[in-house]
């Protein structure tokens, strides 16, 4: 990746122009870069829509305008040829953001040239009642449950079924629901997973719910508890495996 100031400035300009032309926001943008282990992190802060509010200024009320920023994070790993993008409330733009990054930072005209085609998430095991998530006792994870699955049917094109059940009182609730349905053959293209962390002294237990989609999209960040969850996905055989078309998995 090219991380010189002129390269990050190109990414700033590309993101700014993209959002400004599409939505009228993003007039300004700042990109900050740092490296952690084998990954390059690009934190982008485009300008959001202007907001105004009434504030106290000394002894008087005054209406003031604010120009907040929203956050987009690019995480690039050269050894894996992998790019993750964290764009809350802007996920529909992820594909376009990938191309902006490829052009400005990787100097590639074709996204496929670096997309790491052999690296995907393997989600089919999550539809198996007997699947067990693997995590170390030191991870702090207390329990993991699948809350929602999006199933792509192998019979016909562009046919999907979303299955959702509350795992709060029954971690296997989604599998009970699937047993009650007469589902045709399918493969899993998206999952929503709930991870509960054990309480620590002085704090209550905390829950993190996130989505992961085939082939390589994940809503998790790369720090804190999200990094712990990513390690759990890797240890469980979900995160980054050799590519086999989902249909072939079903025929095997």
Question: In this predicted model, what pLDDT tens digit does every residue of 33-44 receive, in sequence order?
Answer: 998 888 899 999
Answer yes or no: is pLDDT of 244 > 50: no
Q: What is the pLDDT of residue 156?
A: 67
Q: Over range 158-179, report the average pLDDT.
A: 93
Residue 174 — very low, low, confident or very high, per pLDDT cuts 50/70/90? very high
Q: What is the pLDDT of residue 201?
A: 83
Q: How large a percentage of the chain has pLDDT more than 70?
A: 90
Per DSSP, what are the bridge partners of residue 77?
A: 82
Q: What is the pTM of this model?
A: 0.60
Q: Over range 180-201, report the average pLDDT.
A: 92
Arithmetic mean of pLDDT over the chain = 86
Lowest mean per-residue pLDDT among 41-45, 205-209, 240-244? 240-244
Per DSSP, what are the bridge partners of residue 244?
A: none
Lowest mean per-residue pLDDT among 64-68, 136-140, 155-159? 155-159
What are the start-end ranges of the H helices in 5-45?
Answer: 5-23
Residue 213 — very low, low, confident or very high, per pLDDT cuts 50/70/90? confident
**Cis omega before residue 95 (within 30°)?**
no
Lowest mean per-residue pLDDT among 56-60, 180-184, 217-221? 217-221
Residue 135 — very low, low, confident or very high, per pLDDT cuts 50/70/90? very high
Phi, psi of 18 (to 5 degrees): -60, -55
Q: Which residues contact 37 (CB under 8 A, 6 or more apart)?
A: none
- Looking at per-residue pLDDT, the higher value among 1 and 111 belongs to 1
Q: What is the pLDDT of residue 91?
A: 81
Answer yes or no: is pLDDT of 180 > 80: yes
Residue 68 — very low, low, confident or very high, per pLDDT cuts 50/70/90? very high
| Packing angle, helices 94-104 and 5-23, rounded to 10 | 150
Answer yes or no: is pLDDT of 150 > 50: yes
């Amino acid at each position: 990746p090219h991380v010189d100031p002129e390269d990050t400035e190109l990414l700033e300009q590309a993101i700014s122009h993209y959002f400004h032309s599409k939505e009228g926001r993003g007039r300004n943008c700042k990109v900050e870069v740092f490296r952690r282990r084998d990954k390059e992190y690009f934190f982008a802060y485009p300008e959001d829509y202007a907001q105004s509010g009434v504030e106290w200024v000394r002894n008087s009320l005054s209406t003031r305008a604010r120009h907040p920023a929203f956050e987009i994070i690019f995480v690039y790993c050269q050894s894996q040829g992998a790019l993750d993008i964290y764009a809350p409330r802007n996920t529909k733009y992820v594909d376009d953001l990938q191309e902006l990054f490829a052009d400005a930072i990787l100097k590639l005209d074709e996204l496929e040239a670096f997309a790491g085609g052999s690296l995907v998430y393997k989600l089919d095991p999550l539809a198996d009642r007997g699947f067990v998530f693997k995590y170390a006792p030191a991870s702090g994870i207390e329990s993991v449950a699948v809350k929602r699955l999006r199933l792509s049917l192998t019979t016909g094109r562009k046919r999907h079924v979303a299955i959702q059940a509350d795992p709060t009182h029954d971690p296997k609730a989604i599998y009970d629901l699937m047993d009650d349905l007469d589902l045709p053959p399918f493969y899993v293209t998206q999952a929503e997973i709930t991870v509960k962390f054990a309480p620590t002294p002085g704090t209550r237990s905390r829950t993190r719910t996130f989505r992961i989609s085939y082939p390589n999209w994940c809503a998790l960040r790369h720090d804190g508890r999200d990094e712990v969850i990513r390690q759990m996905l890797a240890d469980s055989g979900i995160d980054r495996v050799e590519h086999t078309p989902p249909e072939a998995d079903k025929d095997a």
